[in-house]
Structures are given as C-alpha cells and as structure tokens.
Structure 1
C-alpha cells in the first residue's frame, strides 16, 4: 500500500514516515499543499494523511479539490485544532477521518489500517476472474483454487492490473505505483516482473492474460 503524507513540520513528517515505513507501508512525502495536491493527482496513492495547517494551499482546500476531481482515495486529516467545528469542516470537505495533535503513533497507525480496510471492503475483498481469485485484504491470489507463489512486487503488479483491467495501463503508471516516484527506475525491471507474472499465471502459454500494446502499455484481459 502506498501512502502520501502531507505535513509541513519536517521533523514530524519524517518521523511519521519512518514509523509508517517500518510498519510495511510505502510513504511519499510533501511539505506543502500545492506539492501534495500535485503528487496526489499524478501518482497512484492508496491513502492520504493531510495536515490542515499547510502552507501554499490549506489542507481543507486540498481535500476539496481532490474530491471535486472525483477521487475517492481515503483521507485522514491531522489538525492541531481541537474544537468540533474544525473537525466538522474537515469531514464536510471530504475527509474520511481526523486525528487531533498531539497524538501517539499507534493511534495514527490504527486509523490508517481502519481506513484501508474500509476502502478495500468497499471495493470488494475478493476479485474473481474465471479461475483467478485475488483476496485484496489478505494480499494473496489463487489460480484454479491453488495458491499462487507471488513476491510482494508481483502481487502488487497483478492487483493493480486487475483492478484497472478496463483500460490500458502505461509503463510509467505501473512504475509510479510499484516504486517511490523519486527513485531511479529502469524499464527492464518492470518488463522482467511482467514476464515472471505471465509465466506464473499462464505456465502453458495458452491464456495470455497480460496483453502488451506496443507503445502504450499493458492490459489485463482475462475474462
């Protein structure tokens, strides 16, 4: 799962990012609202943590803009304000939950897990395509009832392709989802992952579930 943490307090932001990463999440960071909005629009994100008191673009305005875009990504807002009006404003802007500073990290982590569970349940816990079943909550896949032995990257690649099977997914989009956007990436790494995933899904070579559209990207077409 990929989180975007938008917080202008650098010490707090970096400390939270380290703790979230230690718990197994991938974390991108932004120090102001405009950069946070750009990243949320340009890169695949599973959940946003947004401080309301951001420079350049306030947290409330950021949330409103994302919701106006039609994005349903779960949003947890952080606020130093404790009165109920500010909490209501955050929720009415489109946030899914709020946390008042100061807070303990375990509470933040619990809120994040709850929002991700709710989001996955809303999208259906199990995706079924013919003999292929993907349990999104457990992050496992089965083919004809047998578990697929997938690495973490292979699973995330499969889940993303299946969830977006109605369209062509570009190499850049997949790379942005699989790797932090600020790291160097080689395109052949993605091609190797695609090749390994194809062999595991289609060892006989007769199903060809991942279609390559030259110059455009990939499409999962298994019905």
Structure 2
C-alpha cells in the first residue's frame, strides 16, 4: 500500500481520483491547493504526489520543483490538461517522474503508479542486511576520504566520509534522520532538505564505485539504511 497525495483543484476530478486509488488499496489524501497540502500533510510519509499544473496559488511546476529539492526520493506524477511539448518539458525539468495528460484513464493512471512504485522501491520491504542486496565489496578509507570498489575509486567529502562511517558502525547499518542531523559539525546537514540532497549525491558515488541495486535505502518516516557491505580502513 502506498501513501498517495493528490493536489487537484477540480472537486469532481479530485473525488474521482481518490475513489480510483482507494480501490487499489492505497492510502489517499487529497487537497485543493499546494498551500493546503503543505499546511496539512506530513510530507515525509508521502510515497507519490499526484499534481495538477493549474492550481490556485502556487502552481504544480513550482510545487514539484520544491518537493524534488526538499524530498529527492518522493515520486511525482503530473496529471494535467496542458499537453504541449513546452509544458511537458517544464514538468519534467521541475522534477516530475511521469507526465500524464487529461483525460487519463483509470487503468493508465494505476499502471503508471505501479511502474513508479517499482522504480522507487517504495512497495518492497526494507532490506535487513547488506548481503541481501549486493555482494559488491566496498572499502572506505577514512584517512584519505576515498571509497573504492570494483569500478574504481571515488573521492569523498569529509561529511560524506563521516556519514558512511556512521552507517557502517550503526546496528543493521541504519540511521534515523535525527541521528544523522546530530552528527558532528563537519558532517551534519543544515536541514532535512540538505540531508536529502546529500543522500542522493552519496548514493551516486556508491554506485560509481561499484555498488549495485539501491545502496542507500529510504526507510519511510524514519531514516536510511546502507545496503551494501562496507569495510573501514
């Protein structure tokens, strides 16, 4: 079951979308505007955001851009009557994963959500041990601040080195958000939004070094888990 939020100002369409997605056993919340969504919803618990572009107040492109910057792992689907190439480009550039034009059929919408969920890995269990995901050996040299794997070496920042070291030493390689934010001054992101950006960058470096699958998994509403074996030297 996914937590899906709909932001759509057309009341009839909003209710119809809620019915369609609830019938798929998803937990659905719906709002008329971006402002209503931001004021009344815990964004950290949202898996997929379904947005219209033409909203009262802040529009869908602006909202998508903010959500993508602050919550890099959230899924974003735009559902709009604006189907011109320029509108599609603006939607994707703002952070949309999928862009659908109205009218969109219920089967197309639900299939898009299932495809996005598979991509985001939000509907699968969180791995309980690194070996379940990958056997790629990675070595973190804390002194030289480098990460080495089968595909080569990646230079890390001091904060990335400290964060990986903390993951490696944590039980089950899991850290909650507050623990990460509470790391030393050299390591601590300034906010949850900055942490999300840091995780995305670190995930890319892990993959570039040779990790496979999803080396850093989101534990919804809690934190993150390092999902590849890591040796400290």
The alignment's TM-score, normalised by the length of structure 2, stands at 0.54
- Where do 1:3-152 residues align within 5 Å? 3-39=4-40, 42-120=43-121, 127-129=127-129
Provide the rounded CA distance (Å) in 2 between the counterparts of 1:83 and 1:24.
33
TM-score (ref. length: structure 1): 0.56
Q: Extract unaligned runs of 5+ from structure 1.
A: 135-161, 170-217
Contact 1:67 1:94 in 2 (8 A): yes
- 1:25-62 CA-to-partner distances (Å, cap 9, x unmatched) read 11011111112234555451011100011111100010
Higher relative contact order (CA 8 A, sep 6+): 2
Residues 1:41 and 1:93: Cα distance change in structure 2 (over 3 Å): farther
Q: 1:163 to 1:5 in 2, by over 3 A?
A: farther
Deviations 1:50-100, CA, capped at 9 Å, x for gaps: 001111110001011112214320100011112111001000001101100
Deviation at residue 124 of structure 1 after TM alignment: 8.0
What 5-or-longer segments of structure 2 have no aligned partner?
A: 134-170, 179-221, 224-233
1:184-215 Cα shifts (integer Å, max 9, x gaps): xxxxxxxxxxxxxxxxxxxxxxxxxxxxxxxx
Cα separation, 1, equivalents of 2:126 and 2:70? 27
Q: Are the counterparts in 2 of residues 37 and 66 from structure 1 also a CA contact under 8 Å?
A: no
After superposition, the C-alpha distances for 1:123-172 in whole angstroms (9 at most, x for unaligned) are 987613399x79xxxxxxxxxxxxxxxxxxxxxxxxxxx99941278xxx
